[in-house]
Structure 1
Amino acid sequence: MAAVNEDLTPIRCVTWAVEDAVDAALQPNADGRLFVLATAGGWPAAVCDVRAATAAEAAGIVRRAVAEEGVRPPSGFVAGRPTTVGVSVVVCTLGREPRLTDTVAALLAQTHTNIEILVVDNDPGSGRVPALLAGVGDPRLRIIDQPRRGLSAARNAGLAEAGHPVVAFTDDDALPDPGWVAALASVFESGDQVDCVTGLVLPTEVATRTQLFFEEAGGFAKGLRAVHWRRGGTTTALGTQPGPEGLAFPFDACYGSGNNMAFRAEALRARGGFDEALGAGSPTRGGEDLDAFQTVYLDGGTVVYWPAALVRHHHRADHDALVEQMYGYGLGMAAVVAKRLLSSPATAAGVLRKLPGGLRLLLDSGSNKNKGKTAAFPAQATWAERRGYLAGPAVYLGARIRQRRSARRPRQEDA
């Protein structure tokens, strides 16, 4: 039986530069609460769960937090640095998310103008996507049909059509910040041979307890420090520090998330794109983004997490959707682990060495994964994720077999 959200006064989520004057954007809700991403000198310096009565009081709390604990930008960060590299942005959709129009509008409003926007219609027979975007006449927007279902298949279709050196991905329920593409582009233009960049993902709003619970479970955010993962190297031209290596590294989800990621297009194509046995719309429900990040790292490439590349995301708002989401996360993560076990004896040995630490991370209530959950966090969601982990390996094996059989079968258009 689905749990019912208790009443929650919606909490606004805002971005505010501490150099700015206090304005109405900082007004807390009726319960005196506000979520603030504070920037200093253009860099995201602090995330504050503000408890205050007025906007002025909220500003004081945020400024103190930045002064006392704020994250400093890496040495290679220059606010407002012009960027020129061409970027293809891919958004995959079934046309069922009406907020797709907001996503496309946010992409067309990017400060970085050398872009194309590729909306991949993964259900072209429905006609929903052209109907949603009928009023958009910008020549930078193209709709690409991909009738073969699955997020990986859709992303691969976008990758195949991408005409620029960098290909970025976000979702149809996400709102990229106006400087998102410019922030991603600045990393690729840094002089380092960076293969993949991920960024900060924060909620668009917290209007239900379920959305609050998702943040308690870790959300999508990976912190505010710019870091990199690179085998055999400890520094970058950007001044980023080596990224965290937790109990399950490098076979975990430390790198970022698929609603805010970009790759050198040719490097991603050379590595085979996204595994179509993984991802939403496949039996494994997820994991294709984690697989791509891990593949870059294990192949000797460089992954950079750059929090200045900000995307806001509409979290699932009801209990049943959260439970399904957590099950899918467990399923997808375990599927990726199963893929690594099958990839080579050396990699399999590495996975087995990390397995005890990974289990501790998953099951220990005091682990970094679980310590943010309050007593009110729904146990059903936690157990759904664990069930997904148990089912993931077998589901991946089945999906892989079906995917290979499908690849061998002649397509109707080729017959």
Structure 2
Amino acid sequence: MASVTEQVSDGFVPIRCATWAVEDAVDGTLAPNAEGRLFVLATVGGWPSALVDARADSADGVADLVRRSVADGSVRAPSGFIAERTTRTAVTVVVCTLGREPRLTETIDALLGQTHTELEIVVVDNDPASGRTPALLAGLGDPRLRIVDEPRRGLSAARNTGLAQASHPIVAFTDDDALPAADWVATLAAVFDTDPGVDCVTGLVLPAEVATRTQLFFEEAGGFAKGLHAVHWRQDRLGTALGTEAGPEGIAFPFDGGFGSGNNMAFRTAALHQLGGFDEALGAGSLTRGGEDLDAFQAVYLAGGTVVYWPAALVRHHHRADHDALVEQLHGYGVGMAAVVTKRFLSSPATAVGVLRRLPGGLRLLLDSRSAKNHGKSAAFPVEATRAERRGYLVGPGAYLRARRRVRRHSAVAAR
């Protein structure tokens, strides 16, 4: 049972987030909080098979609920999944930071502790003048870890610097407030090994904890998770050697965020170079505030490549903990999404027609309280957060045009 110190000022009792293999014995991993609640990711044979909002008064009660959730067999590992597959494919992991996130050390510890040892970790310091990043990582001496400077502000610029520094055929990206599972790199590498036609892999992102009501609201708004089914997207409609299903194509596909998220993504390094890396008119730190990851996924797909969503590649993420940060985050997501759609609209007449055809459905998705995007929000979900995101969609097109002009001016100056 939780102590009184778990309680926060609004009466919310923090909810732990646990991963439990149903083959394992019941232990403290499954202990619920003072209100009898626990978020559980259940795995069967190493594959994530159920997400359970367990409500029980004991660990044994939680275990019973979890076992019942996986018993229907609705989620099965694809034929290409082999638990603990070994691979020698070398991977570069890029983490970009301003040095303001103290949990950066936890992220790097998790990467240094990966079961896959054929890797290098490139930390891109996007505010080198502050000196914060080297100070944070001063105690983490390891030959696989290096810090590179990128004084040009913006996540896309930082990610492109990490890409330029990547020495290995696979480049993966996560954030400085994320915790990759111990087998994250090995799992990503195995997907690329199993099917040489795969150009991009995204994975499952779940909360590291739900310590505040605001973090719960982020999950109600959809969070980062894209489900537990392994799927792929490719224009030729063929399958993959992984045994994945064809991915869902919603009413705004492919101009939506359904492929995955930037805190858990990997690419063949050569393929990402060929696409030109990340668009520096997009992303956090730019006028558009986001969208560079969605743009990259779409670029792979639209160029005829294959994107795979593989939920066995697990990252846990520390969500924004306070109300104002959530409102700001969702506003940024709206700006970034609209900016990416604007980029697609301007890319070619044929693509512009495709965007226009999907626009009515996209608006319904955004505005209808019963839509897949909104139906998970509780009555307590802050209306100002929803409004902020919608305002972001209005701001996004203009923000992209201004950001694109700014990037072109800077490129012209740099070329002189």
TM-score (normalizing by structure 2): 0.97
Measured in 1, the distance between the counterparts of 2:399 and 2:129 equals: 28
Q: Equivalent residue of 2:198, what SS?
A: coil
Which of residues 69, 72, 92 in structure 1 aligns to 2:96? 92
Q: Please list, as runs of the form range in 1=range in 2, the aligned pairs for 1:93-112 lying within 5 A after superposition.
A: 93-112=97-116
Distance 2:13 2:187 in 1: 33
Given the alignment, which residue of 340, 345, 352 partners 2:344?
Answer: 340
Count of paired positions? 409
**Does 2:111 correspond to 1:114?**
no
**Unaligned segments of structure 2, at least 5 residues:** 1-7
TM alignment of 1:166-181, pairs within 5 A: 166-181=170-185
Question: Which residue is 1:234 aligned to?
Answer: 238
Q: Counterparts of 2:238 and 2:370 in 1: how far apart (Å)?
A: 30
- Counterpart CA distance in 1 for 2:129 and 2:377 is 42
- Looking at structure 1, the residues matched to 196 and 69 of structure 2 have their Cα atoms a distance apart, in angstroms, of 33
Find the partner of 2:318 among 314, 318, 334.
314
Query: What is the rounded CA distance, in whole Å, between the counterparts of 1:354 and 1:102 in structure 2?
Result: 41
Mapped to 2, the partners of 1:189 and 1:288 lie a distance apart of 26
Matched residues in 2 for 1:287 and 1:172: separation?
Answer: 18
Q: SS at the partner of 1:195?
A: strand
Partner residue, 1:325: 329
CA distance in 1, matches of 2:17, 2:243: 29
For 1:32-71, list aligned pairs within 5 A: 32-71=36-75
- 2:358 is the counterpart of 1:354: yes
Q: Contact 1:230 / 1:297 at 8 angstroms: preserved in 2?
A: yes
Instruction: Tell me how far 1:70 sits from its aligned partner.
Output: 4.5
Q: Which runs of 4+ in 1 moved over 4 A?
A: none
Superposed CA deviations along residues 182-217 of structure 1, whole A, max 9, x for unmatched, are 111111001331100000000000011100000000
Pairwise mapping of residues 125-274 of structure 1 onto structure 2 (< 5 A)? 125-274=129-278
CA contact (8 A) 1:192 1:236 kept: no
* Equivalent residue for 1:10, pick from 14, 18, 21: 14
Q: Distance in 2 between matches of 1:70 and 1:38?
A: 13
Counterpart of 2:375, as a letter, is: K
Instruction: Name which of structure 1's ranges 272-281 and 189-198 shifts more when overlaid on structure 2.
Output: 189-198
- Match for 1:66: what amino acid? V
Alignment gaps of 5+ in structure 1: none
The answer (yes or no) to whether the contact 1:5–1:210 under 8 Å persists in 2 is: no
- After superposition, the CA RMSD in angstroms is 1.1
Query: Which residue is 2:309 aligned to?
Result: 305
> Which of 288, 291, 313 is the matching residue for 1:287?
291
Partner-residue secondary structure (3-state), 2:373 = coil
Q: Among the aligned pairs, what percent are the same residue? A: 74
Of residues 391, 398, 406, the one that matches 1:387 is 391
Counterpart check, 1:73 vs 2:58 = no
TM-score by length of 1: 0.97
Secondary structure (helix, strand or coil) at the match of 2:116 reads coil
CA distance in 2, matches of 1:106, 1:320: 29
Question: 1:365-384, aligned counterparts within 5 Å?
Answer: 365-384=369-388
Post-superposition shift, 1:235? 1.1
Deviation string for 1:26-48 (max 9, x for gaps)?
00000000000000000000000
Secondary structure of residue in 2 paired with 1:76: coil
Residues 218-273 of structure 1: CA distance to partner in whole angstroms, max 9, x if unpaired?
00000000000000123110000000000100100000000000000010011000
For residues 359-410 of structure 1, the C-alpha deviation after alignment (integer angstroms, 9 at most, x for no partner) is 0100111111001001110000000000000110001000000110011113
Separation in structure 1 between the aligned mates of residue 354 and residue 304 of structure 2, nearest angstrom = 16
